Amino acid sequence: MKTNDYVKYMTQTIVKYADQPKDERKRQRLERKQTKASFWYRWFGILPYIVYSEVKRRKIRDGK
């Protein structure tokens, strides 16, 4: 991608973002935040995430 194409793309992206109403931007931000995987899963994979969630679930169940 040439520099001119990149500048054009960035300009279009910024203008598109700026043209959206504020409440629309907030709604999109909340949707992205809710669909994002948890910290444990993103950084360590599925097995540590399962262990962590199981320990957390047992603590809640035991009342600690």
DSSP-assigned states of every residue in 12-64: HHHHHHHHS-HHHHHHHHHHHHHHSPPHHHHHH-HHHHHHHHHHHHHHHHHT-
Tokens 């109403």 belong to 21
Q: Contact at 8 Å (CB) between 40 and 52?
A: yes
What averages of pLDDT result for each successive group of 10 residues across the chain (64 residues)?
Answer: 88 92 92 80 79 87 73
Residue ranges of the domains in the chain?
3-62
Q: Contact at 8 Å (CB) between 17 and 28?
A: no
pLDDT at site 64: 57
